Structure 1
Amino acid sequence: MNDQASPDLRRIDPAAISEAGPAGFASAVTADCQPVLLPGLCRHWPAVEASGRGWAALSTYLARFDAGRSGQAFIGAPSIAGRYDYGDGPDGFNFERASLTLAQALERIGEAAADPSLASVYMGSLSADDYAPGFAADNSLDVLPPLARPRLWLGNASRVACHYDSFDNLACVVAGRRRFTLYPPDAIGDLYVGPIDHTLAGQPTSLAAGAALGDERYPRFAAAAPRAIVIELKPGDGLYIPKLWWHQVEALEPTNLLVNYWWDAFAAGPDAPYVTMMLAMIAIAERPLAERQAWRAFFDHYVFRPRGHPLAHLPAERHGLLGPLAGGNYGRIRALVMKMLRGG
């Protein structure tokens, strides 16, 4: 862990919550919707121990779990220095894509680390259950809910463009140091975000965060830059990143492995806020300004509730559909919405 971590980043000793399980983790870590550093969270993992003996030892350890399934890898020419981004390639990016098994990726990463003239390799979001069955059982975290399953991110030195996730994210460094640069959700307007349907790996990215400081194309970024939280993690450290927090991730060593978990810490059901936002884009975004402002007032009143519950002036038994979701209103509202969408 870097001692120069931003003072704005809260730290929690994992030993203080190790006995509390998922409920304790939710209360201590996720409830505030702020990033949290968890130094040494996964230092007990066999994978971290193997990485301490070098990439060859870690590769041998991981190969035990390889299911032989092929996944997508980014292949970058030495000239991009591991900065996978938009570019002049035929698909609008500066790298190529290849299909590799876990074992093949591990071998090519090792070869590129030994010979800088070779193309770099980056392979991310591999479901451990699918690509390395048995890894999760051997490297477990009892503080997360059972539905939070591990994903593997491995490669040479790289920089993943600044993006957000629509799920809560726990990142655990296994091999190599990682530098995270975080921006709060409300910095979105100053980050100059790219298209939502032409992305590197699923999420839109910030064009300004990866550009040179002072780039004249992105004048508003000057307001976001001082708000950045920068932290370096070493093997064994964990970092909780709440949903919608922007983060740029740099793998700083020639060989690197990170394991992450995505889950929705506050879901009342299967419906995702992002889907609601997409629907609002077609229902509201191009209406006249005055009407958009009127709908904003209604969204604030009924959804965001800055002044509290919209029916606080009435007894709870008269709240109807605005009563607790857990009391049956989740299903009632969902059925009503589905009926409306069908035109009923």
Structure 2
Amino acid sequence: MSAAGPSRPREADAEAILRGGPQGFRALAEACQPVLLKGLCQDWPAVAAASRGWDELGAYLLAFDAGLKGEAFVGAPAIAGRYDYGDGPDGFNFTRQSLNLTETLARVGEAASDASLPSVYMGSLPADDYVPGFAADNLVDVLPALARPRIWVGNAGRVACHYDTFDNLACVVAGRRRFTLYPPDAVGDLYVGPIDHTLAGQPVSLAASAEPGDPRYPRFAAAAARAMVVELGPGDALYLPKLWWHQVDALEPANLLVNYWWDGFAAGPDSPYVTMMLAMIAIAERPEPERQAWRAFFDHYVFRTRGHPLAHLPPERHGLLGPLAQGAYGRIRAIAMRMLRGV
């Protein structure tokens, strides 16, 4: 990082965002840049319960508890909550256990009081399944209805640097969270691990988890110089656009975060990530000159670096390159599906 230290995401007026409703939030998100929203969730009953202590927060959550079990990470004290690759039988430095919410909250509380106990981390619990009623009691009115809350609970620890393929609003309920962010185009300097052997679904940066100056990752210094760092307290929220890399440190002995994932700019059900996977098998191992030729076509038709491909023709002659919402989406999708089926 530079001598001046890392930068911070820009901060927006949370009250103004709430007044602007979903359209105002969508306008904020169109810049595809992280935004700090201090106090966005400060009026939540869950935040009020957390302010009275871990036991009070636990009692609040368990009033909604459906009794379901989920997968928890359990780590020896020696890893200090930094769940990562390691020498375990599955290639990680932690074990996985099936726990319900009552057990998880109790074990987090116990480990928070006794550092000799294993740390516990359970994440991505769909609130509508695990604590039905929580979402209605703790609202974020600026998000689309399809954005549903997920709960992340655990001791002090670190979620390895990764990206999501959805837009993300992260709301701190208990404890403090530090987010270290890297832009999407830092991917080549982050030394990303395998995409099919991951901690929790998404590939992670090996360099961001390593000791500073690790000689295996010489390009990481370029990514570190572009990092943003921000710390959130209870009631604060952070908007993270899709594909932004983020390492998340839970800083207190016991912490709880609620997040929402959604695709704010989807024209239909098809995912850009699936498109990338198909492009990998169709293009990645072709000769370099041919890859460059396909890059030119992607730039022209997909990324549109010089504007609309048919800007030289009137809109009524754009055909398949007309607006997706006006029929082009279904027509292109039908053609692509026939091609994939070989018909």
Bin of the TM-score, shorter chain as denominator length: over 0.9
How far 1:5 moved relative to its partner? 9.9
The secondary structure found in structure 1 opposite 2:224 is helix
The secondary structure found in structure 1 opposite 2:152 is strand
Distance 1:300 1:10 in 2: 30
The secondary structure found in structure 1 opposite 2:225 is helix
* Counterpart in the other structure of 1:157: 156
* Counterpart in the other structure of 2:278: 279
* Counterpart in the other structure of 2:209: 210
Distance 2:296 2:8 in 1: 32
For 1:215-258, what per-residue CA distance to the aligned partner results, in whole angstroms no more than 9, with x for missing partners? 00000101111100001100000000000000000000000000
C-alpha change, 1:5 and 1:50, in structure 2 (3 Å) is farther
Partner letter of residue 161 of structure 2? C
**Residue 229 in structure 1 maps to residue 228 in structure 2:** yes
Distance 1:149 1:192 in 2: 32
Contact 1:149 1:261 in 2 (8 A): yes
**Residue 12 in structure 1 maps to residue 23 in structure 2:** no
* Counterpart in the other structure of 1:32: 31
* Counterpart in the other structure of 2:110: 111
Partner letter of residue 19 of structure 2? E
Matched positions, count: 340
User: What runs of 5+ residues in structure 1 fail to find an aligned partner?
Assistant: none
The secondary structure found in structure 2 opposite 1:208 is helix
* Counterpart in the other structure of 2:82: 83
* Counterpart in the other structure of 1:193: 192
The secondary structure found in structure 1 opposite 2:207 is coil
Partner letter of residue 13 of structure 2? D
**Residue 220 in structure 1 maps to residue 219 in structure 2:** yes
How far 1:210 moved relative to its partner? 1.1
The secondary structure found in structure 2 opposite 1:227 is coil
User: What runs of 5+ residues in structure 2 fail to find an aligned partner?
Assistant: none
For 1:39-95, what per-residue CA distance to the aligned partner results, in whole angstroms no more than 9, with x for missing partners? 000000000001111101101111101100000000000010000000000000000
Contact 1:5 1:230 in 2 (8 A): no
Matches within 5 A, 1:110-129: 110-129=109-128
How far 1:212 moved relative to its partner? 1.1
How far 1:19 moved relative to its partner? 2.1
The secondary structure found in structure 1 opposite 2:71 is strand
Contact 1:5 1:231 in 2 (8 A): no
Distance 1:200 1:6 in 2: 27
The secondary structure found in structure 1 opposite 2:210 is coil
For 1:241-291, what per-residue CA distance to the aligned partner results, in whole angstroms no more than 9, with x for missing partners? 000000000000000000000000000000000000000000000000000
For 1:82-123, what per-residue CA distance to the aligned partner results, in whole angstroms no more than 9, with x for missing partners? 000000000000000000111110011001111111111000
Percent identity reads 76
Distance 2:193 2:5 in 1: 28
Distance 1:8 1:60 in 2: 35
* Counterpart in the other structure of 1:60: 59
The secondary structure found in structure 2 opposite 1:99 is strand
Q: Tell me the TM-score normalized by structure 1.
A: 0.98
C-alpha change, 1:115 and 1:8, in structure 2 (3 Å) is closer
Distance 2:244 2:68 in 1: 32
Contact 2:82 2:157 in 1 (8 A): yes
The secondary structure found in structure 1 opposite 2:48 is helix
* Counterpart in the other structure of 2:263: 264
Contact 1:190 1:224 in 2 (8 A): yes
Distance 2:231 2:128 in 1: 28
**RMSD, aligned α-carbons:** 1.1
The secondary structure found in structure 2 opposite 1:90 is coil
The secondary structure found in structure 2 opposite 1:281 is helix
How far 1:20 moved relative to its partner? 2.1
Contact 2:168 2:261 in 1 (8 A): yes
Q: Tell me the TM-score normalized by structure 2.
A: 0.98
Contact 1:177 1:256 in 2 (8 A): yes
Distance 1:7 1:194 in 2: 26
Distance 1:132 1:104 in 2: 14
Contact 2:156 2:250 in 1 (8 A): yes
Contact 2:183 2:244 in 1 (8 A): yes
**Residue 166 in structure 1 maps to residue 173 in structure 2:** no
* Counterpart in the other structure of 1:22: 22
* Counterpart in the other structure of 1:98: 97
For 1:122-181, what per-residue CA distance to the aligned partner results, in whole angstroms no more than 9, with x for missing partners? 000000000010000010110100000000000000100000000000000000010000
How far 1:7 moved relative to its partner? 4.8
Contact 1:48 1:174 in 2 (8 A): yes
Contact 2:40 2:237 in 1 (8 A): yes
Distance 1:121 1:249 in 2: 15
Partner letter of residue 218 of structure 1? Y
